[in-house]
Amino acid sequence: MAIFTRNVAAPVLALLASPAFGAHAAPAAAAQAPTTVALSTPAATAPGSFMPAGAPYWLKTYSTAPYQEYWTGVLTVKDLAKDLPRVLKAAEKEKSPLAQDLKSFASSARQQQLVFLVPGERGKALFKRLRKLGDLPEPDMRTLGPKLPLDEIRAKIDRLMKERAEHDAELKHLPVALEIEEEVLERLVLVEEIAKQTRGPVRFNLLVQQR
């Protein structure tokens, strides 16, 4: 009799079929003749061992910590009073607004602190515009929290949903495998939502100073 298995269920079924698991069965079961179970697995495993994890690794953990990217730079201009409006205009053209009202940033006669919220894809274009106004070395870039592989997560979700739709009848006979799959799917959906929410703009801390 053929047993239909799925990627998530295969390790569980292999464990149930292994001699190591059988050693814990009731004494009466040990007196019965050995039973051969046909599993649709890629290769046989050694007694008492687990099947090697394949790709993708379904039990991979993903962090739910927020991800944020920070840039810090110093722009040196000839005349702060004349060039500051040009800096603000350059950021506006790249859809990079100030994080707060201009008057709330620290400033002096020769320096102005700014923080822009820059869409990641517009960072290079903004640097190019600012370098036309003065001297801007490559900014220091750092991140807070891990960056989630959204494409990988979505691929797993799509694959699980597709297989559940195609093998619904078989899964009804594998309640443990179904519970495992539902738990994995629930976690992936949660992480996907977090990944979408944390793909926000880069915080660009820029000090504009006069020579």
What is the reported pLDDT for 172?
84
Q: What are the extents of the domains in the chain? A: 1-52, 55-211
Q: What is the DSSP letter of 31?
A: T
Residue ranges in the chain modelled with pLDDT below 70: 1-55, 66, 197-200
Q: What is the DSSP letter of 158?
A: H
What is the reported pLDDT for 151?
87
What is the reported pLDDT for 4?
43
How does pLDDT run across 3-61, given as a tens digit for each residue? 444 444 444 444 444 444 444 444 444 444 454 544 444 454 455 444 455 667 888 88
CA distances from 133 to 75, 84, 103, 113, 130 (A): 8, 9, 22, 16, 5
Q: Hey, what amino acid is at 62?
A: Y
CA distances from 160 to 9, 37, 42, 167, 179 (A): 12, 25, 19, 10, 13
What is the reported pLDDT for 54?
60
pTM over 0.95: no
